[in-house]
Structure 1
């Protein structure tokens, strides 16, 4: 699956945004938890304005149910839209400027640790982007929630599942490192990753990567630790524009209702 580029890109803004149960379903739909409300037309309009303001060239999204809902947030005149084929309401996805070529690779299916379970986990959306001269491999993830910063000795709740998912990320990163191709892993890691986190140390043991959120706190909803991250590897580390990390906050809104409990996280990459 490939789309031809119409123009070369130079500096690209790459972002990740968890859209918090973005769906076309109505409140009370059996596929939605009882505490999840369907979106109103006003909700979609507000999100669309924020997306226009974000103005990302590459936008990884999480918690998107279907393409019709995503098309109400992102303009298809500007973006190519892709969603995972997972049998879940909270899919991962990607919006890419039409000036970039997109090749969809085999998903990282194994992130759905127990495919026989009633409730599936999200797989990894794996794509390769090109501006006609330079390529960038992307893996969009939404990992298991609930193991925010517990030590690796924690064997209860969701932690063992998250640890297994990180092992799969290590393997994927090791393969990209061996290929020598620029790559990024981005999305909702549901983990407060820092350089001192043992899970981050495990990733760095297989490849020298850059965690763009390292050393910063997120201003989203008043300040918190990042769980939405962008990790760069191989030449992509060298493309990172210094001091380009940005978090788009909902400055004029006092509550997340109808928007998202996550804010978009972005950096700029200067492609050669």
Structure 2
């Protein structure tokens, strides 16, 4: 009986430890910072809505993956609003920072040629910041919308502490992953000057930075025009360092990227770039994108 009581006590203590809130970070001490980008594919606030309708069980799976990701700051894309984000990044562990872009009010039907059925929800960009990570919100990079109410704004924060870091979350125009001949390409190219200006301003400040998100562009392709334009005056580094993507077999190149300036790149923990591929077959993936992560010291 005594051995049984000890076993029960051990199990209870283990369970309680799993429920304990995460330790608060000490911002006066330099600590590794794990950053991530995750496109959550039409994440809606309510069950059964949007172009990827989900049940509570689906949101529970996403929460479990968020726990496994265990990142300090996650840039996320395709999220309807803060309430939707909080269904994945729970409020007792994360602070949600959402794009303030107004809804355009134009919610078309899902699917290229659909004339009825579910409609597209707002697709916004944001951050989930682990509790205890000190940060400041900066104005959104609304210039990325180039005057189009349907294009997404960037979300801009500064992680404070001993080693400050500026972070920009973005989701660029889709449909121009390579080359310059597809119809959406001029729109994506028109977004680049806003990025160049943001990069130049951070460089002038001497502030290390990272740009995270769904770039909808295969930046690692040889002589990619977008990558060349961005590197005109400031040297940038892609955290993947030439690695191929494995999330979806038919897409061997990353379009989600973590891009850093030289100051931030010097803080990379060697071998810390990871593509989180869920560990299940593609048809069971909870999103059509896999998260990517990087740790900085």
TM-score, normalised on structure 1? 0.87
CA separation of 1:123 and 1:221: change in aligned 2, threshold 3 A: same
Q: Over the residues paired in the alignment, what is the CA RMSD in angstroms?
A: 1.8
Task: In structure 1, list runs of 5 or more residues that go unmatched.
Answer: none
Give the whole-Å Cα distance in 1 for the aligned partners of 2:197 and 2:185.
19
Taking the aligned partners of 2:273 and 2:171, their CA distance within structure 1 comes to: 20
Any idea what SS the aligned residue of 1:220 has?
A: coil
User: CA distance change for structure 1 residues 269 and 6 in 2, over 3 Å: closer, same or farther?
Assistant: closer
Is residue 180–residue 234 contact of structure 1 (8 Å, CA) maintained in 2? no
Inter-partner Cα distance in structure 2 for 1:68 and 1:169: 28
Residue 38 of structure 2 contacts residue 292 of structure 2 at CA under 8 Å; is this kept in 1? yes
Tell me: higher relative CO, structure 1 or 2? Use CA pairs within 8 A at least 6 residues apart: 1
Which residue is equivalent to 2:173?
144
For the Cα contact (< 8 Å) 1:17–1:262, is it kept in 2? yes
The CA deviation at 1:256 is: 4.5
Aligned to 2:296: 269
Q: Which residue of 1 aligns with 2:129?
A: 96
Structure with max Cα Rg: 2
Distance in 2, matches of 1:213 and 1:87, equals 33
Residue 90 and residue 244 in structure 1: after superposition, are their counterparts in 2 closer, same or farther (change >3 A)? same
What residue is the counterpart of 2:196 in the other structure? 170
CA shift, 1:93, in A, is: 0.8
Unaligned runs of 5+ in 2: 1-23, 104-121
Which residue in 1 is equivalent to 2:225?
A: 198
Query: Deviations for 1:189-248, whole angstroms, at most 9, x for unmatched residues?
Result: 000011631211111112011111231111102352100000111421100112211011
Verify: 1:189 aligned to 2:215, yes or no: yes
| 1:25 Cα deviation from its structure 2 partner | 3.7
- Report the alpha carbon displacement of residue 185 of structure 1 after superposing the two structures with TM: 0.6
Tell me the residue number matched to 1:42.
57
For the pair 1:87 / 2:102, whether they are aligned, the reply is: yes
TM-score (norm 2): 0.80
Query: How many equivalent pairs are there?
Result: 252
Whether 1:105 and 2:120 are equivalent positions in the alignment is: no
